[in-house]
Amino acid sequence: MSELSQIPSIDQLLKSREMQNLLGIFGRPLCVEAARAVLGDIRTEFIQRRNPVPDHAGLIARVNQQLEAWLEPSLVPVINATGVVLHTNLGRAPLSQSTRLAIAQAAEGYTNLEFNLETGKRGTRSIHASQILARLTGAEIGFVVNNNAGAVLLTLSALASGRKVIVSRSQLVEIGGGFRIPDVMAQSSSELVEIGTTNRVHLHDYENVLQNEGIALVMVAHHSNFKLIGFHSEPELADIVEVAHHYGVPVVHDLGSGALLDTAKYGLSHEPMVQESLAVGCDLVCFSGDKLLGGPQAGIIVGKAELIQRIQKHPLARALRSGKLTLAGITATLAHYLKDEAEQELPIWHMIAKSLDAIHTTAENWREHLGVGEVIPGRSTVGGGSLPTEEMPTYILALDPPDPDAFLCRLRKAQPAIIARIEDDRVLFDPRTVLPDQEAALWHGLSASWAAEQALE
């Protein structure tokens, strides 16, 4: 039992000279908690496993470790070397410099979020992004909520609760993360009227149902992350709008990714654009802020003022409203499109537009820097529920560690974590999605991990 008596009391430990530094950094209450936890563990370890009691320096180190573990942030930056531009698991779109600045400025102090600077009276937060959205897309007004799933739920709840909504069977999709069109409709208490078949839907399928009373909306949903091929057809959006309007029923288009630039310009197939849906007469268009728009997480509704004003009055609008940081960030992101500089300024468009030559040079630089690996042609993808099966040619640095899975795991422990992928037993790094100011960190983490892997052999 003599060893147990060597364990100091919490008070003794806290009073020791070495502890004063930690008290200064972490504050007294947390240090007391940490000291209690560590001394308790040491007592248990001694009693159960006869682990020797650490000396004083050892105790302080354990307390320090405990404090750091408790304070370690859970959400941390990572390097995306996967080649998936809008990687949902990695937080989708990285933000432009001026978007980050706008968010920081809004965060710093007070803002006129709901305050009218002209009248000195209460204002509304919904005006902040509305005008710029209208100017960019041709809509009457725009409205920003928390995310696009929220935008769709809110739209259906406000305009179709207890009423019927027509959706084509080919569009009853699940986009992942638990978002299924039929389930969202059920949540909004609207009644789904399915038309057509899984692979083929005709205009007369719409017309047959539209002739009935009590149809609140026609909803058209982007297929998002899946693709129908073979014997498949759907009517043109313009024709659906025409027949719906003939029966006085508004059309809502859930676009998902919501491109404002033409993806066809970058050798990809054409992703439907927000402006196009409005141009053919859709009454409302919903899309994400952090997919092909390239901004912070948000859901955006644009279209007819009368419908959006009804949406804004629904109680769910309060629950799904966006914060000042989002509004500042979305507005700054949209400004790049107005100034025709989206491709240069928004990281995701910059990545999509990157020339094959530039990627090749970067991959070669990496290989030279590391002194190992091989540069091979490969494929990057857009991701984020847009352009399924579409790929962009790229160049990739391929490494052949003895155990690819173990190497991937080691890379995830680098600071910042490096996320790569395995194909044919090779570990691949795609320069397309690595931000320029992360390259040095990538080299550093990659060389250290590679050296550690070699040392194991």
Ligand X SMILES: *Cc1c(COP(=O)(O)O)cnc(C)c1O
Single out the residue of 129, 149, 240, 259 in contact with ligand X (rule: CB under 6 A).
149
Single out the residue of 196, 256, 329, 383 in contact with ligand X (rule: CB under 6 A).
256
Binding range to ligand X, per CB under 6 A, among 144-152, 206-214, 322-330, 410-418 = 144-152
Report the alpha-carbon distance of residue 148 to residue 144 in Å, rounded: 9
Would you count residue 179 as binding ligand X (CB under 6 A)? yes
What is the pattern of x (binds ligand X, CB under 6 A) and - over residues 415-444? ------------------------------
CB of 175 to ligand X, least distance (A): 5
Would you count residue 254 as binding ligand X (CB under 6 A)? yes
CB of 223 to ligand X, least distance (A): 8
The length of the chain is: 457
Single out the residue of 86, 175, 193, 397 in contact with ligand X (rule: CB under 6 A).
175
With respect to ligand X, which residue has the nearer C-beta, 150 or 250?
Answer: 150
Q: Which residues contact 49 (CB under 8 A, 6 or more apart)?
A: none
With respect to ligand X, which residue has the nearer C-beta, 149 or 418?
Answer: 149
With respect to ligand X, which residue has the nearer C-beta, 39 or 149?
Answer: 149
With respect to ligand X, which residue has the nearer C-beta, 256 or 347?
Answer: 256
Q: Which residues contact 11 (CB under 8 A, 6 or more apart)?
A: none
Would you count residue 385 as binding ligand X (CB under 6 A)? yes
Written as six digits, the tokens of 369 are 């820097």
Residue with tokens 């141009």: 279
Would you count residue 96 as binding ligand X (CB under 6 A)? no
Would you count residue 64 as binding ligand X (CB under 6 A)? no
Binding range to ligand X, per CB under 6 A, among 78-86, 97-105, 141-149, 416-424 = 141-149
Would you count residue 147 as binding ligand X (CB under 6 A)? yes
CB of 158 to ligand X, least distance (A): 17
With respect to ligand X, which residue has the nearer C-beta, 385 or 404?
Answer: 385
Contact present, 445 and 415 (Cβ < 8 Å):
yes
Parallel/antiparallel/unpaired status of strands 84-86 and 374-383: parallel
CB of 126 to ligand X, least distance (A): 18
Would you count residue 221 as binding ligand X (CB under 6 A)? yes
Binding range to ligand X, per CB under 6 A, among 32-40, 252-260, 397-405, 448-456 = 252-260
Q: Which residues contact 415 (CB under 8 A, 6 or more apart)?
A: 441, 445
Single out the residue of 222, 321, 354, 426 in contact with ligand X (rule: CB under 6 A).
222
CB of 277 to ligand X, least distance (A): 12
Count of residues engaged in binding ligand X, rule: CB under 6 A? 15
With respect to ligand X, which residue has the nearer C-beta, 179 or 450?
Answer: 179
With respect to ligand X, which residue has the nearer C-beta, 38 or 221?
Answer: 221
CB of 140 to ligand X, least distance (A): 22
With respect to ligand X, which residue has the nearer C-beta, 64 or 288?
Answer: 288
Binding range to ligand X, per CB under 6 A, among 59-67, 145-153, 403-411, 444-452 = 145-153
Would you count residue 258 as binding ligand X (CB under 6 A)? no
Tally Cβ neighbours within 10 Å of residue 44.
11
With respect to ligand X, which residue has the nearer C-beta, 155 or 449?
Answer: 155
Single out the residue of 66, 224, 312, 381 in contact with ligand X (rule: CB under 6 A).
224
Binding range to ligand X, per CB under 6 A, among 33-41, 42-50, 232-240, 249-257 = 249-257
Report the alpha-carbon distance of residue 350 to residue 435 in Å, rounded: 10
CB of 199 to ligand X, least distance (A): 19
Parallel/antiparallel/unpaired status of strands 374-383 and 392-399: antiparallel
With respect to ligand X, which residue has the nearer C-beta, 66 or 80?
Answer: 80
CB of 299 to ligand X, least distance (A): 5
Task: Give CA torsion, residues 83, 85, 91, 92, to 10 deg.
Answer: -160
Which residue ranges make up the site for ligand X (CB under 6 A)?
A: 147-149, 152, 175, 179, 221-222, 224, 254, 256-257, 288, 299, 385
